[in-house]
Amino acid sequence: MEKTYFISGIDTDCGKTIATGLIAKYLLSINKNIITQKLVQTGTSGIADDIITHRKIMNKILFAEDKNKITCPYVFKLPASPHLSAKLENTEIDCSIIDRNTKILNDNFDTVLLEGAGGLHVPINNKVNIIDFIEEHNYPLILVTSPKLGSINHTLMSLEICYKRKIKLAGLIYNNHPANNSFIQKDTLEVIGKFLRKHFPRVPLIEVPLFKNNDYTNIDFSELF
């Protein structure tokens, strides 16, 4: 296993926070010393909402690293692109601070799952987009998609840019929420799967079921590792 995996989505609200928590839950079940990290959180204050969600899925209380904001040093009130939310609070996201925190986590845990914000071309600051950050660090990427309308286009474009920029794609997660139309849901999965097999024939495609009442059962993610 790698020390750090980056989890991104095709866009916002595709399920990457749930996926990150579920992967962490699986790794805990096989006795890995695991922690999650959040690149930047917008639309809240205090401890990052997504970190709190990760811990609930993992059935863990907040870590000391959460309380001292090692797992997410940048939290902004406006629910917008990170660069804009930071600008409105008279700051700019410094990637070296994120890197420093990832190193601290790497030194104390077997594996770090680093969740991004939005899709691959979301600006972190005025110089770096998320895809640039992934490429610079050569992080294995776990990409999350869903059956919502527009996801075929968003997913294929995301996979294409990963292919062209030689991103190490560790896996594609198909989050079956929202499950509004089973016909669309099945067709979307088939189209995405066909593209994945053509360009990333060794990369696994793993489905995450629709959970009710936040009853997150354990999922086998062994293919990712």
CB 74 within 8 A of CB 124: no
Say what the pLDDT of residue 214 is. 79
User: Per residue of the chain (225 residues), what is the pLDDT tens digit?
Assistant: 899 999 999 998 899 999 999 999 999 999 999 999 999 999 999 999 999 999 999 999 999 999 999 999 999 999 999 999 999 999 999 999 999 999 999 999 999 999 999 999 999 999 999 999 999 999 999 999 999 989 999 999 999 999 999 999 999 999 998 777 889 899 999 999 999 999 999 999 999 998 887 788 899 999 999
Say what the pLDDT of residue 213 is. 76
* Dihedrals phi, psi of 129, to nearest 5 degrees: -95, 165
CA distance 5 to 138: 10
Q: What is the pTM of this model?
A: 0.96
By annotation, the residues acting in catalysis are 38
CA–CA distances in Å: residue 31 to residues 7, 65, 119, 218, 219:
21, 20, 31, 14, 15
Say what the pLDDT of residue 171 is. 98
Say what the pLDDT of residue 157 is. 97
Q: Which domains are assigned to the chain?
A: 4-224 (3.40.50.300)
Say what the pLDDT of residue 52 is. 98
